[in-house]
Structure 1
Amino acid sequence: MNAILTVLEIVAPVFLVGGVGFAWVKAGFEYRIQFVTRLAMTLAVPCLIFTALMKTEADLATLGTLAVAGSLGYFVIGLAAWVILRLAGLDMRTYLAPFIFGNTGNLGIPLCFFAFGQVGLEAAVVMLAVSAIWSFTIGIWMVAGKGSGGKILKEPMIAATLLGALFLWQGWETPRFLTNTLDLIGQMAIPLMLITLGVAVARLTPGRITTALWLSVVKLAICTAVGWAVGTAFGLTGAIFGVLVLELATPVAVTAYLLAEKYEADSNAVAGYVMVSTLTCVIGLPLILGFLL
């Protein structure tokens, strides 16, 4: 019973705050999602990433191992996804990238923070950076048939990751007044990401629900198994291991729908995949967390 209550205490705030965004839109209130997303991804999240890395007590080598393990995890998941989609006769442009890359930002960071505290947050921002690098390059190529390697260098959160890693490596710290300012801005990131997730899901027009349902269950099972196997193979333990498993198991990100819309894949099908995958993880992620704690 204590274990169940612990899991509920961790996941309830994540889904309740996301529910606030969902209810906000359904109530007919205005929510300028492009403005809020830009505010979060260009200011709040980079500040969160930089301060988390600068102040971390984790070893840089451990975080580097996590980044390599995460990259390998995405590669293995990609192979498995390609085989499954090929056997099922589903369109690769529509389903491959969403199967591989989960919602490591809006959902993954808050979940890891509530589950493992500051250590979980620090590890989660590393996984977010890894996911962003691969999804903005190989992920876009999967959907559009062309890469976007130059775009990744312009992403503020990638710059924040590199700068934070430099400060961690050198043992540098910003002046206290600046650190407090960056901390304050970074504290916006988690509630903004969760509310925006709820808003985005509320505005989606889903399609091909049956396909989305079985794919969501398969994605959750495979991503969890791969995360567990890779984490064990790399000798990861504790919060670092837990973050790897949880981040790889996160549901399809809303950005997958935006990419499908932009590059003329089946965006309605991806919208259904986002919604069903997110709902599936309402049950699935607490179960996974129960085994991790």
Structure 2
Amino acid sequence: MFTAFISAITPVFLIAALGFFLARKTDYLEHPGLAMLSSQIALPALVFTSVTQMKVPVTEMGYLMGVTALCLAVGATLIAIFCKLLNTSPRFYLSTLVNPNTGNLGIPLVFALLGPEALASAVIISTTVTLSHWTLGTTAMSGQYNWRSLVTNMPLLALLSGAIVVSMDLTIPVPISRALDSISGIAIPIMVMLLGLSLARLKIGGARQVGIIAGLSIYRPLSGFLIAWLVVSLITIDTTAALSLLIQMSMPVAVMSYVLTVRYGGPVDRIAALTITSIPVSLVILVLIFNFQSALL
């Protein structure tokens, strides 16, 4: 089983390593439009095609989004309580320790470990987490809420469009369907290479308080896994969706949290360190999920 696990995730990390190498040695990934292409074009196409091709019922879609939101809400409540007890502001840690890296890393790993049939669940979960970044994350870090971030959120719009197509049993013309398939096909490779780019750019030399960083690195993936496991143990949910949720919630600190921390003037070095140091913990948890999935569900 461990060999199968390594075989499944190796392509993901090879592509990330390629992104890291390209970022160090070339300027191929430097154009700001590449990130926009991934988040505003390729990922929405992937969301739309996954939902429509798998024909996920709207009720199941909403249910999975609700389950994901429940996991995030429990995580946010725990962080708020811990920060209160420690007399520490949750401003930059609420979203960072609650919202996992479901985009650059979560979707590719779900696809690698569970196959194409889990892709729809993965993108629904990831879209929900993205919404959390642009609601919980931006509100906590900035101190104010911007509703326009929802109206202009392309993955959410793609998800809603896919839900309309499925609910109305509409048929997408073949040329359009093939075009969307081709566009969505570049989403995962670009996201993973951009993860490598982000890791290559991060500056962690000034990070201090190693013990705190180590503790938070363990907390983010482990708490996400335990919360998701508790939730799927208490509710009725499809096995594939449950495994996808366990994997996604066990992901490390999101690069998006680092980006938002930079934007709002937070502890950049510490959050940058967490995006890297939490990855090994996630990998250990993934091995456990992959090898003991029948015992978990």
Q: Same fold (TM over 0.5)?
A: yes
Shifted more, 70-79 versus 124-133: the winner is 124-133
Once the two structures are superposed, what CA deviation does each residue of 1:108-152 show, in whole Å capped at 9, x if it has no partner? 111111222222110011111211222211221111111122112
Amino acid at match of 1:80: L
Counterpart in 1 of 2:174? 176
Amino acid at match of 2:239: G
CA distance in 2, matches of 1:183, 1:151: 26
Q: CA deviation at 1:286?
A: 2.6
| Contact 2:56–2:166, Cα closer than 8 Å, also in 1 | no
- 1:286/1:29 CA distance change after superposition, 3 Å: farther
| Contact 1:10–1:114, Cα closer than 8 Å, also in 2 | yes
Once the two structures are superposed, what CA deviation does each residue of 1:213-268 show, in whole Å capped at 9, x if it has no partner? 21111222211011011112221132110011111111111111111111111111
| Contact 1:54–1:173, Cα closer than 8 Å, also in 2 | no
CA distance in 2, matches of 1:278, 1:112: 15
CA distance in 2, matches of 1:45, 1:150: 19
For 1:106, which of 101, 104, 107 is the aligned residue?
104
CA distance in 2, matches of 1:91, 1:16: 38
Question: What secondary structure does 1:105 align onto?
Answer: helix
Q: CA deviation at 1:28?
A: 4.6
CA distance in 1, matches of 2:20, 2:89: 30
| Contact 2:23–2:30, Cα closer than 8 Å, also in 1 | no
For 2:125, which of 119, 124, 127 is the aligned residue?
127
CA distance in 1, matches of 2:258, 2:31: 14
Amino acid at match of 1:47: A
CA distance in 1, matches of 2:167, 2:109: 27
Q: CA deviation at 1:285?
A: 2.3
Question: What secondary structure does 1:94 align onto?
Answer: coil
Once the two structures are superposed, what CA deviation does each residue of 1:9-45 show, in whole Å capped at 9, x if it has no partner? 2222222211111122233544215221101011111
CA distance in 2, matches of 1:107, 1:193: 8
Counterpart in 2 of 1:25? 23
The 5-angstrom pairing of residues 24-63 of structure 1 reads 24-32=22-30, 34-63=32-61
CA distance in 1, matches of 2:291, 2:15: 21
| Contact 2:47–2:159, Cα closer than 8 Å, also in 1 | yes
Counterpart in 1 of 2:185? 187
Q: CA deviation at 1:154?
A: 0.6
Amino acid at match of 1:63: M
The 5-angstrom pairing of residues 1-293 of structure 1 reads 3-32=1-30, 34-206=32-204, 207-208=207-208, 209-292=210-293
Aligned length: 291
Shifted more, 16-25 versus 187-196: the winner is 16-25
CA distance in 1, matches of 2:289, 2:217: 15
| Contact 1:94–1:269, Cα closer than 8 Å, also in 2 | no
List alignment gaps of at least 5 residues for structure 2: none
| Contact 1:94–1:267, Cα closer than 8 Å, also in 2 | no
| Contact 2:57–2:167, Cα closer than 8 Å, also in 1 | no
List alignment gaps of at least 5 residues for structure 1: none
CA distance in 2, matches of 1:273, 1:103: 12
CA distance in 2, matches of 1:158, 1:221: 27
Q: CA deviation at 1:90?
A: 4.5
CA distance in 2, matches of 1:270, 1:33: 24
Q: CA deviation at 1:59?
A: 3.5
CA distance in 2, matches of 1:228, 1:37: 32
